[in-house]
């Protein structure tokens, strides 16, 4: 390896070609990175005290296999983003000077020949920078002064336009002066002595952080001969990039590989450790090609369900419902089952029924507030328990036999919780109403074009007519049933219905009698809306819900076949905490707080422990430690990161404490609920971000 500090423009100003190998990610800098580079260049150009501005390194392989002509061709290992961005800037500068020649003495032809083109070469050799497949054409068009189209690289086009706009507002000599001060570290690798892959992994240059997908692509392709690189890239990798939608490839692909590894290994790597897990897993294949072929095959399945590209509309509909519930923990299991369906080991009907079992399992648990921290493990190990001779039967039985916090709530528990659940505050409320409205309908109703209507209004200052209809306990009835399924419906006339008395809502234009919405039909026959009617309607809707999200039907003798002996675990309940029992001062406050926490997201689950009550998504984000006169909350977020305008929080990092967080806050009355819930939501977002969700 040879490394030296050089002026960037001098580095470009010699006959050479910088080739971005096909295993590198596509050009990915956004306007944010371009703005920062632009500001640095302008500052350097304006400030005579700045002699140079360092912009990172350019690392390349100079010797060996890729030296195929008299023109030096340098295979770029690191530096693509800066090389491409500065080429776009210089191109935009040349174009501006050409169109506005009186503004400067700079010569656009010389700028192009020095820094963008090899003027003595022909064909592709005339370009100093060769990008990868999807970006190359766009850059060539810019350098050849041709118009870009919507088919060309969006990122190239956007950033080129950004620099054109900025150059039009700036002093051209200042721009060139700033460019002339840019400094890089020129790192030339010896192909025979240096390991490009290890160097690539350790790089931490200016720009966007490498994703797991970037690292995996380089690991797979970097060490191959050029012909094999091109075959695997063009036939498999580029196809995956297109399937995953190139603009979102890296974000989606990381999660795909994680699901793929869970499916193959029955282990759950963290999203930021996928690359390391993949490297270890890859050693189980006899060749890189064998691995890429397998990865490509399962990526097709993943794209079909996660991005809903499945050609069969019935299967695609089932995928859409699972995705709306955000059940990504089920993806490893779905990959395995999809593979069996693709290989005709199960029928289409069986596949759809399995997907509906997954949907019911997850939805019933969400409604009943069953802790879901176990779902990752449940789905990662489910497939190996499947009896391939009795495929569907065994899956149903395994789900039914899950107990404790892994259980699927039965009809009794489901009905009880759905009756009182505040569906209006449920993240998936539109999904629920869509499924209810379209159950057994031949013509699909687009729920998104309607709004949710509270039959009994939300306004705490109810009219006298509403008070009369509801009776003397109207306040308690409104508080208890306002946001529940019995009091919610759909309408296209929400502003018109507003807080009007029930009969007016029923009879007016666009009211319940007029409504095409099926779940409104029963309302058209009623004379008033009271607690009795709300409970009756809720029961009717819940009967439909039990059909939609059905409990798997399995005979008792069938269940016996699949029972296994498992070590019982200590299970705690809310009642085990003396300060939370009925009659204790903190009992009502805790009930209201837990309800609001569980409504943050359908992934949230409650898990009572011996010393505290944990609330989890991917992991604990808040633990409630009950005290006699307050609830102490342990928030899983660094103290310095939390936004706490009322300064309620305390830093407890490094101190002895119950709970799993480094930030503590206490709540002792209902007036503090809103501000404390905001702090809890920050902890939830922090945990999701750290776990890549």
Per residue in 490-507, pLDDT tens?
Answer: 888 877 778 888 999 899
407-446 pLDDT, tens digit each: 999 999 999 999 999 999 988 899 999 999 999 887 888 8
609-629 pLDDT, tens digit each: 888 999 988 788 999 999 999
Which residue spans of the chain are classified as CATH 3.90.1150? 574-690
Residue 91 is encoded by which pair of tokens? 């191109």
Which letter, b or e, does each residue of 581-602 get, where b requires 16 or more Cβ atoms within 10 Å of its Cβ?
A: eeebebeebbeebbebbbbbbb
- Give 178's contacts (C-beta < 8 A, 6+ positions apart): 40, 41, 42, 43, 44, 45, 46, 53
pLDDT at 468: 93
Least confident among 105-114, 479-488, 508-517, 585-594: 508-517
Least confident among 400-414, 553-567, 666-680: 553-567
Under the banding of pLDDT at 50, 70 and 90, the label for residue 56 is: confident
Q: Is the pTM of this model over 0.85?
A: no
pLDDT at 204: 45
Q: Which of 389, 386, 383 is nearest to 259 (CA)?
A: 383
Least confident among 238-252, 328-342, 520-534: 238-252
State mean pLDDT over 229-253. 78
State mean pLDDT over 40-53. 91
Q: Which of 36, 90, 82, 86 is nearest to 203 (CA)?
A: 82
Q: Is pLDDT of 631 > 90?
A: yes
State mean pLDDT over 213-218. 81
pLDDT at 77: 81
- Give 30's contacts (C-beta < 8 A, 6+ positions apart): 155, 158, 159
The SS3 assignment for 32 reads helix
Q: Is pLDDT of 148 > 90?
A: no
Give the whole-number percent of the chain exceeding pLDDT 90.
55
pLDDT at 24: 75
Q: Which of 643, 573, 655 is nearest to 608 (CA)?
A: 573
Cβ neighbours of 468 (radius 10 Å): 14
pLDDT at 281: 94
Torsion of CA 612, 617, 620, 623, to 10 degrees: -30
Least confident among 68-72, 244-248, 424-428, 673-677: 244-248
Beta partners for 4?
186
Q: How far is CA 147 from CA 117, 152, 469, in A?
A: 18, 10, 69
The SS3 assignment for 613 reads strand
Under the banding of pLDDT at 50, 70 and 90, the label for residue 102 is: low
Residue 157 is encoded by which pair of tokens? 């086009």
Residue 51 is encoded by which pair of tokens? 């002699």
Residue appearing with tokens 């992934």: 603
State mean pLDDT over 194-221. 65
Question: Within 13 Å and on the Cβ side, how many CA atoms surround 528?
Answer: 10
Q: Is pLDDT of 565 > 80?
A: no
Q: Is pLDDT of 510 > 90?
A: no
Q: Is pLDDT of 193 > 80?
A: no
126-136 pLDDT, tens digit each: 999 999 877 99
Q: At what angle do helices 172-180 and 31-46 cross, to 10 degrees?
A: 90
Under the banding of pLDDT at 50, 70 and 90, the label for residue 246 is: low
pLDDT at 515: 85
pLDDT at 575: 86
pLDDT at 345: 96
Least confident among 3-12, 156-165, 223-232, 635-644: 223-232
Q: Is pLDDT of 355 > 50?
A: yes
Third-level CATH fold of 574-690: 3.90.1150
Q: How many whole angstroms separate alpha carbon 315 and alpha carbon 296?
A: 21
pLDDT at 548: 96
Q: What mean pLDDT, rounded, does the chain reach?
A: 87
Q: Is pLDDT of 567 > 60?
A: no
Q: How far is CA 600 from CA 158, 183, 360, 426, 544, in A?
A: 37, 49, 20, 8, 26
SS3 string of 322-352?
A: HHHCCCHHHHHHHHHHHHHHHCCCCCHHHHH
pLDDT at 633: 94
The SS3 assignment for 55 reads strand
State mean pLDDT over 382-393. 94
What does the chain come to in residues?
693
Least confident among 255-269, 380-394, 644-658: 644-658
Q: Is pLDDT of 566 > 60?
A: no
Q: Is pLDDT of 318 > 70?
A: yes
Give the whole-number percent of the chain exceeding pLDDT 70.
92
Q: How many whole angstroms separate alpha carbon 491 and alpha carbon 495?
A: 10
Q: Is pLDDT of 271 > 50?
A: yes
State mean pLDDT over 286-303. 95
Q: Is pLDDT of 205 > 50?
A: no
């Amino acid at each position: 390896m040879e490394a030296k500090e050089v002026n960037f423009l001098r580095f470009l100003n010699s006959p050479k070609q910088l080739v971005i190998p096909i295993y590198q990610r596509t050009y990915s800098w956004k306007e944010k990175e371009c703005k920062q580079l632009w500001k640095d260049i302008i500052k350097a150009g304006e400030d005579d005290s700045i002699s140079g501005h360092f912009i990172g390194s350019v690392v390349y392989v100079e010797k060996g296999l890729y030296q195929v002509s008299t023109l030096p061709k340098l295979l770029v290992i690191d530096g693509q983003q800066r090389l491409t961005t500065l080429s776009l800037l210089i191109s935009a500068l040349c174009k501006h000077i050409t169109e506005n020649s009186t503004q400067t003495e700079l010569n656009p032809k010389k700028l192009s020949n020095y820094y963008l083109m090899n003027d003595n070469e022909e064909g592709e050799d005339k370009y100093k920078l060769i990008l990868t497949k999807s970006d190359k054409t766009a850059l060539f068009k810019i350098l050849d002064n041709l118009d870009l189209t919507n088919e060309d690289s969006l990122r190239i086009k956007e950033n080129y336009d950004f620099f054109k706009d900025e150059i039009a507002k700036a002093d051209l000599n200042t721009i060139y002066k700033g460019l002339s001060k840019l400094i890089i570290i020129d790192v030339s690798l010896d192909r025979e002595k240096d390991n490009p892959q290890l160097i690539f992994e350790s790089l931490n240059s200016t720009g966007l952080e490498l994703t797991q997908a970037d690292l995996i692509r380089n690991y797979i392709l970097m060490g191959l001969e050029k012909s094999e690189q091109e075959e695997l890239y063009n036939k498999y990798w580029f196809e995956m990039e297109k399937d995953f939608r190139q603009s979102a490839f890296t974000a989606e692909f990381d999660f795909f590989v994680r699901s793929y590894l869970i499916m193959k290994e029955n282990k759950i790597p963290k999203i930021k450790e996928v690359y390391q897990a993949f490297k270890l897993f890859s050693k189980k294949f006899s060749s890189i090609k064998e691995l890429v072929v397998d990865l490509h095959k399962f990526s097709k399945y993943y794209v079909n369900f996660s991005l809903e590209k499945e050609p069969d509309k019935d299967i695609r509909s089932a995928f859409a419902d699972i995705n709306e519930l955000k059940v990504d923990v089920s993806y490893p299991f779905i990959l395995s089952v999809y593979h069996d369906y693709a290989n005709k080991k199960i029928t289409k009907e069986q596949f759809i029924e399995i997907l509906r079992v997954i949907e019911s399992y997850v939805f019933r648990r969400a409604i009943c507030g069953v802790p879901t921290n176990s779902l990752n493990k449940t789905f990662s190990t489910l497939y190996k328990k499947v009896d391939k001779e009795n495929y569907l039967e065994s899956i149903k039985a395994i789900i039914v036999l899950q107990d404790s916090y892994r259980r699927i709530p039965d009809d009794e528990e489901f009905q009880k919780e759905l009756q009182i659940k505040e569906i209006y505050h449920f993240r998936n409320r539109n999904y629920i109403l869509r499924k209810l409205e379209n159950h057994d309908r031949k013509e699909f109703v687009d729920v998104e074009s309607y709004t949710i209507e509270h039959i009994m209004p939300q306004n705490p200052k109810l009219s006298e007519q509403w008070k009369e209809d509801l009776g003397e306990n109207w306040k308690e009835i409104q508080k208890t049933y306002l946001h529940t399924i019995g009091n919610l419906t759909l309408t296209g006339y929400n502003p018109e219905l507003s807080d009007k008395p029930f009969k007016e809502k029923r009879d007016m234009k666009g009211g319940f009698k007029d409504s095409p919405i099926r779940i409104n039909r029963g309302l058209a026959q009623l004379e008033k809306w009271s607690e009795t009617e709300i409970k009756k309607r809720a029961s009717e809707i819940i009967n439909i819900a039990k059909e939609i999200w059905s409990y798997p039907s399995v005979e008792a003798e069938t269940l016996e076949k699949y029972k296994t002996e498992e070590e019982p675990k200590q299970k705690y309940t809310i009642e085990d905490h003396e300060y939370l029992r009925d009659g204790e001062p903190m009992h009502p406050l805790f009930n209201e707080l837990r309800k609001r926490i569980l409504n943050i997201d359908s992934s949230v689950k409650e898990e009572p422990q011996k010393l505290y009550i944990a609330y989890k998504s991917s992991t604990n984000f808040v633990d409630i430690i009950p005290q006699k006169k307050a609830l102490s909350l342990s928030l899983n977020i660094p103290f310095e990161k939390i936004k706490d305008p009322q300064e309620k929080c305390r830093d407890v990092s490094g101190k002895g404490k119950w709970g799993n967080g480094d930030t503590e806050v206490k709540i002792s009355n209902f007036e503090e609920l809103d501000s404390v819930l905001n702090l809890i939501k920050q902890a939830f977002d922090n945990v999701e971000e750290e776990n890549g969700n």
